[in-house]
Amino acid sequence: MNPAPANREPAVDQLAEVWTSIRSACHDLGPGQWEAPTDCPGWSVRDHISHLVGIERMLLGDPAPEALGEYPPHVRNEIGRLNEAWVESRRSTPGPEVLREFAEVTERQFAEVTERRLAELRALPAAHFDVVSESLLGRMAYRQFVQTRVVDSWAHEQDVRRALDRPGGRNGAGEAVVVEGCARNMPRVVAREAAVVDGSVVVFDVSGLLGRRITVVVADGRGRLVEDGTAIGPATTTLSMDQEAFWRLCFGRVEPVRLLATGQVRIDGDVAVGHKVLDAMAFIP
C-alpha cells in the first residue's frame, strides 16, 4: 500500500486534477494533431507538453538541456530561453513519446515526471508550504509557487484543447485558481500598467460559473479592489466579458480588438480608458 500523504495541501490536488485533464486532452492523437499550431507563437501541441515535462523535470533536479545558440523572436527573457531549450530538445520526439514521458511508466520502469512530482509534493510536511523562499518567479511561499504550476499547466492545457478543438477542463480547480489570480492582479493592471488616473473606477463585469464583478478604484497612483456594496460613485469604465475572454486576455492569448469586434468584450463609459486597460491586461507571460 502507498503511504498516506504527509500533507493535505489543496494546491497539490489542484495540480493533480489539471495534469489528469491534460492527459485526457492528448489521448490518442494522430501525428498531424501533435504538430497543430497553437495560440502560443511557434509552439505546436507537442511543444506544450514538452514544456510541462521540462519544467517538472527541472524542479525534480534533473539536468537541463544545453542552451540554444539562437532563439526565435517569441523568446523574450531568461525563463523563455530555458523553456525553449526544453521544448527544442524534444522537437524530434514523436508526440506519443512525449506524452508517455509526461503521463506513463516507461518500459525501463522509470516513474513518469508528473507522478514523481506529485509523490514528492505529497511527501512534504504541511509546514513546508508556508515557507517563503526564492523561486523561478521571485520570493514567495511554496504554496503560492505550486499554484503558479497550476496556472501554467492549466493555461497550456487550454492552448492544447483549443488547437485540437477538444474543449474540456473548464470550471474546475485549474480555472478557479486562474480566475482568482487574474482578479487579484487587476488593481496593478489598471493603475500601473494602464496608468489610469486617480479617481477612476474601473469595473470588470465577468460572467460565467466562475464569473464575478471586479471593481478597481485608483488613488495616489495605486489601484485597490473594492468589495461589492461599498459606496464609490459611478464607474468610469465598465468592461463586460465572460470568464474565458477574461483569462485569455490576461494570458495574452488573444488581441483585445478581436474580442471587441465579435462582441465578446463590451466597453461602457470612458472608451479610451477601456482600451488602455484591455491593452494592459496581458500580465501573465
- Identify whether residues 136 and 231 lie together within a single domain: no
Q: What is the reported pLDDT for 125?
A: 83
- Identify whether residues 154 and 68 lie together within a single domain: yes
Specify if 193 maps to a domain.
yes
Question: Please, which residues have CB within 8 angstroms of residue 187's CB and are 6 or more apart in sequence?
Answer: 216, 222, 223, 224, 225
Q: What is the reported pLDDT for 135?
A: 60
- Identify whether residues 195 and 101 lie together within a single domain: no
- Identify whether residues 208 and 134 lie together within a single domain: no
Specify if 191 maps to a domain.
yes
Specify if 175 maps to a domain.
no
Specify if 178 maps to a domain.
no
Residues 224-242: tens digit of each pLDDT: 999 875 667 899 999 999 9
Specify if 21 maps to a domain.
yes
Residues 3-17: tens digit of each pLDDT: 566 667 888 889 889
Q: What is the reported pLDDT for 163?
A: 98
Question: Please, which residues have CB within 8 angstroms of residue 118's CB and are 6 or more apart in sequence?
Answer: 12, 15, 16, 19
- Taking the C-alpha atoms of residue 50 and residue 86, their distance in angstroms, rounded to an integer, is 7
Whole-model pTM? Answer: 0.86
Helix (H, G, I), strand (E, B) or coil at 267: strand
Q: How many domains does the chain have?
A: 2
The last residue of one of the domains, among 131, 164, 197, is 164
- Identify whether residues 192 and 159 lie together within a single domain: no
- Identify whether residues 192 and 160 lie together within a single domain: no
Q: Which three cell numbers stand for residue 135?
A: 523561486
- Identify whether residues 148 and 199 lie together within a single domain: no
Q: What is the reported pLDDT for 130?
A: 78
Residues of the domain holding 276: 186-280
The last residue of one of the domains, among 164, 198, 226, is 164
Q: Which three cell numbers stand for residue 83?
A: 523553456
- Identify whether residues 101 and 195 lie together within a single domain: no
- Identify whether residues 76 and 25 lie together within a single domain: yes
Residues 22-72: tens digit of each pLDDT: 999 999 999 999 999 999 989 999 999 999 999 888 888 888 899 898 898
- Identify whether residues 268 and 221 lie together within a single domain: yes
Identify the band that residue 134 occupies on the pLDDT scale cut at 50, 70 and 90: low
- Identify whether residues 21 and 107 lie together within a single domain: yes
Specify if 5 maps to a domain.
no
Identify the band that residue 109 occupies on the pLDDT scale cut at 50, 70 and 90: very low
CATH of the domain at 240: 3.30.1050.10
Residues 258-272: tens digit of each pLDDT: 999 999 999 999 999
Q: What is the reported pLDDT for 114?
A: 80
- Identify whether residues 141 and 194 lie together within a single domain: no
Q: Hey, which bits of the chain come out as E strands?
A: 132-135, 138-141, 201-207, 212-219, 222-226, 237-242, 265-269
Specify if 174 maps to a domain.
no
